[in-house]
Structure 1
Amino acid sequence: MCAHELGASDWGDWLPRAVASADPDGLDLWYLGCNGFVLKAADGTTVVIDPYCGTGDPPRTVRMVPVPFDPGTFAELVDPDAVLATHEHSDHVHGPTQRPLVAGGADYIAPDDSLAVVREEGWTDAAGVTEAAFHEVAAGDTVELGSLTLDVEPANDPDASHPVSYVIDAGTGTFFHGGDARPGEAFASVGERYDIDLGALAFGSSGMLFDEAAGEPVYKRWYSSPNEVAEAADQLRLDRLVPTHWDMWKGLTADPRSVRDHTRSFAHPEAVAVAEIGDRLSL
């Protein structure tokens, strides 16, 4: 099996049809597993963040949740306005998943090193993908997408280069996507400047993953621990926290319900929303 090849979905087209037929009063979100989300606003503006339908890089990283949709079918049925990437890792910038969405007409919004991967992989070699679709952003930028206002903020992800986070204001509520970032000054600054209704933060266990160079499993820690995700949520002053990434990789999975025990004594978040792949949330 090739590294990060596109997985075949056995979910049919029910999820993209659910998104396409939805008529939100404010902002509706569907969790795609890993760190992916689909957002749909009341005016129909639709944004996809960090979608990933790859299989991982077995035996190092092995996907543990279903592939939720076929990208070509998703592009045809949902017709998203934009795809956002938080950083350059393969489960956040993934050509087989994301290129069909861009070929279908979506803009691609990402920081510089994420776009460097896009260009190295030759996405413009595919029909319907042109350089005009790519939009580089950095912390401090603001992008208007239909009724949505997207503010680009910094992120503390020691495993990535030039990662960003996104604050998305739908008028009726605000959603924060932190990528794979951990607590730090960047999150504290965001929490001081925004009123965030729902925030997605990567969370998982540490584990032993096979390393080809070493020829044996080695220790890996990529995401926030339960204590760290609680600290990050408090820094961001979230009303609701939805833990992400806990479901994805064999050996790094964790129980998102445990996060509640770590957040109880903090002022924020006021609630922890446990979402499984395919679940729908509303603002």
Structure 2
Amino acid sequence: MKLTHLGHACLLVETDVRILVDPGTMSDFAALSGLDAVLVTHQHPDHLDAGRVAALVAANPGVPVVVDPDSVAAAAGLPGVRVARPGDRLTFGGTTVDVHGGVHATVYGAVPGCTNNAYLVDDGAFFHPGDSFAVPPGDVDVLAVAVDGPWLKLAEAVDYVRAVGPRVAVPMHEGETVHPEKYAGMLGAFTPDDIAVRRLNRGEATGL
């Protein structure tokens, strides 16, 4: 599997297919081609930039756009939209994607919540939780973990990595962070030694 971090929470996952997760406003994905699926965890603009995704779909004719239930309105007008819910299993080529999660982590006070899909690729090869602390059943090889946002503190990210126990933790959700490398460093400092914290270079495909 190869991963490319395209900014913030947006990751290109390459197995036998090319799957893009969370193309939002702080991500660079416009030039991508040959996509087999686009997965959206939730409706917030930093995870779904509907206008730019429309152009992306036009450049990748027929690509399905999979969204959580509350993102349907934000994705209105996009071709190929499919709604997925926790418990669903999706198949793209020889790659499976199981839907987990269900709810966005609490932001603050009375800020309204929303649905949030978490996506498990190939029975644990990769897990993208969106803006949640969803823990999938079974082992996870590579975990994408948010390190910054109004809904979390870094200690919670550390606890989440410990709860999932992946081989590799990849920091994400850092688009508003001035020094994201420092957040990744702190995550690594408090993570058990048997879990590698690996910050990906933006735009560079990395084998994991």
TM-score of the aligned structures, taking structure 1 as reference length: 0.64
Deviations 1:42-70 (A, max 9, x none): x3x11100023x3xxxxxxxx6xxx635x
Q: Write 1 or 2 for the structure with the bigger share of helix.
A: 1
Q: In structure 1, what is the equivalent of residue 86 of structure 2?
A: 139
The offset of 1:92, in angstroms, is 0.9
Q: Give the alignment of 1:92-171 within 5 angstroms.
A: 92-103=47-58, 104-105=60-61, 106-119=63-76, 123-124=77-78, 129=79, 133-154=80-101, 155-159=103-107, 160-169=113-122
Instruction: Measure the CA separation in 1 of the matches of 2:198 and 2:106.
Output: 26
Moved over 4 A (4+): 250-254
Instruction: Provide the secondary structure at the position in 2 that maps to 1:102.
Output: helix
* Residue identity matched to 1:151: D
Contact 2:104 2:115 in 1 (8 A): no
In structure 2, list runs of 5 or more residues that go unmatched. Answer: 108-112
Instruction: Measure the CA separation in 2 of the matches of 1:109 and 1:31.
Output: 19
Contact 1:180 1:201 in 2 (8 A): no
Instruction: Measure the CA separation in 2 of the matches of 1:113 and 1:156.
Output: 11
Q: In structure 1, what is the equivalent of residue 42 of structure 2?
A: 87
Contact 2:162 2:192 in 1 (8 A): no
2:131 counterpart (180, 184, 205):
180
Superposed CA RMSD:
2.2
Instruction: Measure the CA separation in 1 of the matches of 2:159 and 2:121.
Output: 21
Contact 1:86 1:163 in 2 (8 A): yes
Give the total of aligned pairs: 199
| Percent identity of paired positions between Structure 1 and Structure 2 | 26
Q: In structure 2, what is the equivalent of residue 270 of structure 1?
A: 195
Deviations 1:251-279 (A, max 9, x none): 695521111111137xxx61111123113
Instruction: Measure the CA separation in 2 of the matches of 1:98 and 1:157.
Output: 24
Distance 1:250 1:271, change over 3 A: closer
Contact 1:113 1:161 in 2 (8 A): yes
Higher Cα radius of gyration: 1
The offset of 1:90, in angstroms, is 0.5
Instruction: Provide the secondary structure at the position in 1 that maps to 2:170.
Output: strand
Are 1:235 and 2:207 matched, yes or no? no
The offset of 1:234, in angstroms, is 1.5
Distance 1:156 1:233, change over 3 A: farther
Are 1:68 and 2:28 matched, yes or no? yes
The offset of 1:152, in angstroms, is 0.3
In structure 1, list runs of 5 or more residues that go unmatched. Answer: 1-26, 55-62, 206-220
Instruction: Measure the CA separation in 2 of the matches of 1:91 and 1:149.
Output: 25
1:200 counterpart (139, 144, 161):
144
The offset of 1:250, in angstroms, is 5.5
Contact 1:204 1:225 in 2 (8 A): yes
Instruction: Measure the CA separation in 1 of the matches of 2:22 and 2:104.
Output: 17
Instruction: Measure the CA separation in 1 of the matches of 2:28 and 2:3.
Output: 14
The offset of 1:107, in angstroms, is 0.4
TM-score of the aligned structures, taking structure 2 as reference length: 0.86
